[in-house]
Structure 1
Amino acid sequence: MRKERELILEEPDAQKRADLLALAVTIASRYFDRAFLWRFFREELEQMREATFVEEWVQEGIERGLQQGLRQGEVEGTRHTHRQNTLQILRARFNLSRQELEPLAEQLETIDDLDELRELFNHALLDVTAADFGARLSRMGNGRQS
């Protein structure tokens, strides 16, 4: 690896040298511990930051992370909305107090599956009593845990 580093450092073009250093570290990371590589290439780290493809990888990683975060946020927002709407319907239909809603809210929070939350929303609209809804909610929760 020393020989490769020496050869790379002889490259006169700074951009090409940065790309080669970053590529060498990438390949070496398959065989060597990351901490060792950072120590071995510590003097070249600043040059590697200028590597074209490393910058592209970092940017792609940031973009993927943002997209994934947005998707997760949308899904969590949809879950939250279904839970809140379900509780609102139960409160209005069955005139439930906060104390009566609290255990239902806690059980709803344990359900992450959107299809199950949609199904429970529909049952909040259609079930004859709050007890019927509570029993259904308990069955769904118990069915998931087994």
Structure 2
Amino acid sequence: MAHKQISAGGVVYRRGSAGLEIQLILDRYGKVALPKGKMEEGETVEETALREIREETGAVGIIKAPIDVIKYTFEHHIYGTVDKEVHYFLVEAVGGITKAQTEEINAVEWHKADAAWERGKSKLYANNVPILQKALSMLDLTFTG
């Protein structure tokens, strides 16, 4: 029986004087990523996503819609095979102050959508690219290639 691990996170966007901006993070390995983290006892996946986003980036968000669930397995030195499930949501930042949680990540970046896509498609973890692309299309933005 594989150990199961559930995480949640999201693609965070904001609309301000600069127009629509998309949040990307630089993780501690220097990779561009989307904020996410492990579910805690008694949380829903939505609560996990919003808490992790707030903890990692300082953004206080509201969930607009689910984007997708990524499933994969990996080998853990204690648990053996772990079935991992990551739930991603489209999240609008409505408050908070952008601040990277330095223990976990190196930086929080806000980009115009086209710049976020350019940076994301080449620098994101491969399984995050379709998540970003779906999020952009949900915001009525289409980028391909």
Larger Rg: 1
Higher share in strand: 2
Query: With CA pairs under 8 Å and 6+ residues apart, which has the higher RCO, 1 or 2?
Result: 2
TM-score scaled by length of structure 1? 0.25
